Chains A and B, each alone.
Chain A
Amino acid sequence: DAGVTQSPTHLIKTRGQQVTLRCSPKSGHDTVSWYQQALGQGPQFIFQYYEEEERQRGNFPDRFSGHQFPNYSSELNVNALLLGDSALYLCASSPGQGLGGGEKLFFGSGTQLSVL
């Protein structure tokens, strides 16, 4: 049983460019959350997708957008990249219609994004 998979593992972009990160949830999971982890910090919630819709969003600008597909996989898009967007981007999936708060999150190994 494959866990949460993310691609690519590493990515280098320049300021102003756009990037798309991908996530496949654990089998049987229908809810996907994205987190940004800056160096030396804990993960910060970007948003969560359920039934192909953004259900909750953290304090991130509109440059951060996402999508969830019918097979529950998800993409995170970041436009007009800034140096401060350099971070590890983690995807997490959870089961059970995302009942909210308390469900166990299963994380991928992340995509390390470097913006030069």
Chain B
Amino acid sequence: AQTVTQSQPEMSVQEAETVTLSCTYDTSESDYYLFWYKQPPSRQMILVIRQEAYKQQNATENRFSVNFQKAAKSFSLKISDSQLGDAAMYFCASAISGTYKYIFGTGTRLKVLA
């Protein structure tokens, strides 16, 4: 079975500091994709970053980067220079290649302190 686990219900970070959100997943497939989505109070899920499992290089998008540890099935998100607008729920998700079902974790609420 495909599962995604986020063990941190809530995290806080000071503005301009760095924070890391954790995610572990489980799958028996070798070809899959991993994502981080952000859900602000507007409720609209926004893609933050995407990682292809066959690529060893960690994905980066401006202030957002991931630490992808395939053997450990770990996929953490690092947010650098945190901004007030980063405050939101963050969801980790996985999708197996060739299928259309995305599995989401339960989310981590990120608070950014001014």
Residues on A close to B: CB < 8 A? 31, 33, 35, 40-45, 48, 55-56, 58, 88, 90, 92, 98, 100-102, 104-110, 112
Q: Which of B42, B45, B102 sits near A45, CB closer than 8 Å? A: B102
Chain A residues contacting B85 (CB-CB under 8 Å) are none
| Chain A residue at minimal CB-CB distance from B53 | A102
The total of chain B residues at the interface (CB under 8 A) is: 28
| Chain A residue at minimal CB-CB distance from B103 | A45
| Chain A residue at minimal CB-CB distance from B52 | A102
| Chain A residue at minimal CB-CB distance from B98 | A100
A101 and B33 in contact (CB under 8 A), knowing A42-B91, A42-B105, A43-B104? yes
Q: How far is the CA of A40 from the CA of B98 in the complex (A)?
A: 29
A110 → chain B, closest Cβ, in Å? 5
Q: In the complex the two chains form, is A100's CB within 8 Å of B97's CB?
A: yes
Q: How far is the CA of A62 from the CA of B33 in the complex (A)?
A: 29
A41 and B45 in contact (CB under 8 A), knowing A101-B33, A101-B98? no
Closest CB pairs A-B (n = 7): A42-B104, A102-B33, A107-B45, A101-B97, A101-B95, A48-B100, A45-B101
Q: In the complex the two chains form, is A44's CB within 8 Å of B104's CB?
A: yes
| Chain B residue at minimal CB-CB distance from A41 | B106
| Chain A residue at minimal CB-CB distance from B104 | A42
B9 → chain A, closest Cβ, in Å? 9
Q: List 24 A-B contacts (CB under 8 A).
A: A33-B100, A41-B107, A42-B105, A42-B106, A42-B107, A43-B104, A45-B101, A45-B103, A48-B101, A56-B100, A88-B43, A90-B43, A90-B45, A92-B45, A100-B100, A101-B31, A101-B98, A102-B52, A104-B50, A105-B102, A107-B44, A107-B45, A107-B46, A108-B44
